[in-house]
Amino acid sequence: RFLRWTWRLTWLTGVGLTGVLAYSIFHLRHPAEQMEPDPSKKTLVILGTGWGSVSLLKKLDTENYNVIVISPRNYFLFTPLLPSCTTGMIEHRSIMEPIRNILRHKKATVKFYEAEATKIDHEKRVVYISDDSEVKGEISHTEVPFDMLVIGVGAENATFGIEGVRENSCFLKEVDDAQKIRKSIMDCVETAMFKDQAPEEVKRLLHTVVVGGGPTGVEFAGELQDFFNADLKKWIPDIKENFHVTLVEALPNVLPMFSKQLIDYTESTFKEESITIRTKTMVKKVTDKHIEAEVTRPDGTKEREIIPYGLLVWATGNAVRPVVRDLMSKIPAQKNSRRGLAVNEYLVVNGTENIWAVGDCAVANYAPTAQVASQEGTFLAHLLNSMAKAETIENELKRLSDVQAQAKSEEDRNAALGEIRECQRQLRRIKQIGPFQYSHQGSLAYIGKERAVADISWWAGNIASGGTLTYLFWRSAYLSMCFSTRNRVLVAFDWTKALLFGRDVSRE
């Protein structure tokens, strides 16, 4: 009897889950008809399709505004798994979600222009845009007027003006960067194996230098060493002796945002993996074959050192994008801001009206992370939804006041008064929305060798952990955070594929 019931329950659960999955897929593939834009509504322009802007779009009631999204990228990119794309552990399309899919599921139509915002005129309320894609129509530059603007353009790669960086290194911010690295890794390996290559040259070509010991640099170094250990050295045993990864960091340690014990754990894991960490080493110049670095010795003296490389990956953090820098230069209230647009506690750009900024391009005293950007986007969606609701209620209040003034009987006047009071109550509740408050959930980073480090906020304290269990946590956390079910399935499939068949070592 027990077995019969267990069987029935399992069967019912199976049928239920299949039904839910089938419905989700059907819903994804068959979005409902959308409301057409209403010209009487305000135009809300959103720049960017990254963490900040897409989190905003997810929660925004688009029927309240005429929403226009502008970005040179017609997809959302799940950046936390981008380092895994450099070695083919994950295919880049698995962590991309087309913006058209996201927008098509909104209640009211949202316009999308694949273009870069080149200039923002905050006084005239106009954004100038340019189509920088390869295919161009007769018009590739135009302007978009707005009533309200949200700037979520992220940041560009910091090079600190160091000579040779842009020309000779690979960055790791976008899909193209990850693809370029993946190709270059195999190019270096195959070139090193070219007939009669001199031993010194083989050594140089098989030496990857990663500049920047923040999480991007650490995660990439870990992924690359994994690739070598699990696949490269099996298929190309000749590179075994010379393949090497060096991580160069200007500060005394890597991962400065993590707790001391996790920094030590990362450094000891790298040592086990034979990844060299060069701390207190600041890169000053880059050529096509070597970097020149200033090394601070334990006695405080400084020395210039030349380090040859085959592949150079530059991960030294963020810099302000030109469009943001240009806007900042035009607003006196932004005079003292250096790292991005200074915003108030409601994310309004200081010195402007009806312009907000979210994510890496905004300076709100938080680290430039996806976690901050997505919480800011969600907050702004609630704020904009509330503002639209408040406006509707205020219009209704005006109408009810007229009704009350023109009421012919005491009964009608009292009825209107009742409705006015209800509207006022609703308005008070809506206007109670507090300032943005960031809730830090913790920091997570993959360090290679199937180990991860995590500083997790727990009640009033913090839990620091590192190792294989943390790696399993890292995997499940990022899998659950992927944008869509489709992304989750594809990422899980990529992990399984790499486990069964290894990563693909073909170039291209």
Residue found under tokens 């309004």: 348
| Closer residue to ligand NAI in complex, CB, 242/318 | 318
CB-based contacts of 477: which residues, under 8 Å, 6+ apart?
444
Which of 66, 67, 83, 384 touches ligand FAD (CB under 6 A)? 83
Hey, which residues between 139 and 168 contact ligand FAD (CB under 6 A)? 152-154
For ligand NAI, the closer CB: 72 or 217: 217
Which residue's CB is nearer to ligand FAD, number 177 or number 273? 177
Pick the closer one to ligand NAI by CB: 368 or 502: 368
| CA separation for the pair 361, 328 (Å, rounded) | 11
Task: Please say which residue, 113 or 228, places its beta carbon nearer to ligand FAD.
Answer: 113
**Residue 286 contacts residue 163 (beta carbons within 8 Å):** yes
Q: Is 210 in the site for ligand FAD (CB under 6 A)?
A: no
Stretch 360-389 residues interacting with ligand FAD (CB under 6 A): 360-361, 368-371, 373
Picked from ligand NAI, ligand FAD, none, the partner binding residue 14 (CB below 5 to 8 A depending on kind) is none
d(CA 120, CA 129): 9
Q: Could you give the maximum distance between any two Cα atoms of the chain, in Å?
A: 103
User: What does the DSSP assignment read for 413-471?
Assistant: HHHHHHHHHHHHHHHHHHTT---------EEEEEEETTEEEEEEEETTEEEEEEEHHHH
Among 54, 445, 454, 491, binds ligand NAI (CB under 6 A): 445
Which of the choices ligand FAD, ligand NAI, none does residue 351 contact, using the CB cut-off of 5 to 8 A by kind?
none
Given CA atoms 408, 414, 415, 421 in this order, what sign does their dihedral have?
positive
The reply on whether position 251 binds ligand NAI by CB under 6 A is yes
Q: Which of 230, 250, 348, 505 binds ligand NAI (CB under 6 A)?
A: 250
Contacts 24+ apart (CB under 8 A), 343-349: 345/435, 345/436, 346/383, 346/435, 346/436, 347/376, 347/379, 347/380, 347/383, 347/436, 349/122, 349/151
Asked if residue 502 binds ligand NAI (CB under 6 A), the reply is: no
Among 212, 120, 204, smallest CA distance to 162 is for: 212
Q: Which C-beta is closer to ligand FAD: that of 185 or that of 323? A: 323
- For binding to ligand FAD (CB under 6 A), which residues are involved? 47-53, 70-73, 79-80, 82-83, 116-117, 152-154, 172-173, 216, 321, 323, 359-361, 368-371, 373
Q: Residues in the site for ligand NAI, rule: CB under 6 A? A: 160, 162, 211-217, 219, 248-251, 256-257, 282-283, 315-318, 367-369, 443-445
